[in-house]
Amino acid sequence: VIQPERSRPLWKWDTLCASLLVLVAIFTPFEAGFLEGDLFSWMGIFNMVTNVFFLLDMLLQFFIAYPIETRYGPRWVLQKRLIAVRYLKGWFAIDLASTLPLDYLSPGSGLGLLRTIRLLRLLKLLRLARGIRVVRRYQAEFGLSYRKMTLYLLFFSVLAVSHWLACTLGIIHKFQIEHEICSRLDLEEG
């Protein structure tokens, strides 16, 4: 069982996890909005690597101790069974849904299925919930005041939402072209 406050390798793993989460927050909406689903492109390889990483992270979660508050202060739960039950009842479903390799499903010939798979790729954004775990685990170690943490969170939230809205416009544009709601002539005229 790994104790988070004593494990330097876990801190490095969480840093890598946070870095990948930032990349997922940027690339996944962009992929859904503007790229075609090619498994052997740079984006397909990135998706394979992140899926494997987050699958390994799911396995690792079964071995990370968690704190509970007692009247004598915080105490770490080290029993594997209790750790597993807590993870299965809590984050497991979110982690599983965000790690499913939807890119490998064959879309067939129907555009409706292709569109559904494109939207299901956005489930990868559920991985961002993992960031909450990482931040909570190391918030005291970062030494940031509540004000600074709130300011950084607001700044990055505005950036992320702006990016996601732009990518949503790309998705809407793709759906309009697939359904030929507007013709090419309408698009060229503006």
**pLDDT tens sequence across 110-145:** 445 555 655 666 667 777 777 776 776 666 667 777
Write out pLDDT tens, residues 163-183. 888 888 887 887 777 665 555
Cα radius of gyration (the chain): 20
Write out pLDDT tens, residues 40-95. 778 888 888 988 999 999 999 999 998 888 898 888 899 999 999 999 998 898 88
What's the pLDDT score for residue 11?
Answer: 87
Q: Which of 82, 85, 101, 103 is nearest to 38 (CA)?
A: 103
What's the pLDDT score for residue 180?
Answer: 59
Residue 25 phi/psi, 5-degree rounding, is -65, -30
Q: Which of 122, 128, 135, 117 is nearest to 91 (CA)?
A: 128
What's the pLDDT score for residue 47?
Answer: 84
Q: How many CB atoms lie within 10 A of CB 134?
A: 16
List, in order, residues 6 or more apart from 55 with CB less than 8 Å away: 99
What's the pLDDT score for residue 14?
Answer: 87
Integer Cα distance of 58 and 177 in angstroms? 38
Between residues 102 and 87, the one the model is more confident about: 87
What's the pLDDT score for residue 44?
Answer: 81
Whether 109 has a pLDDT exceeding 50, the answer reads: no
What's the pLDDT score for residue 55?
Answer: 92
Tokens linked to 119: 């939207």
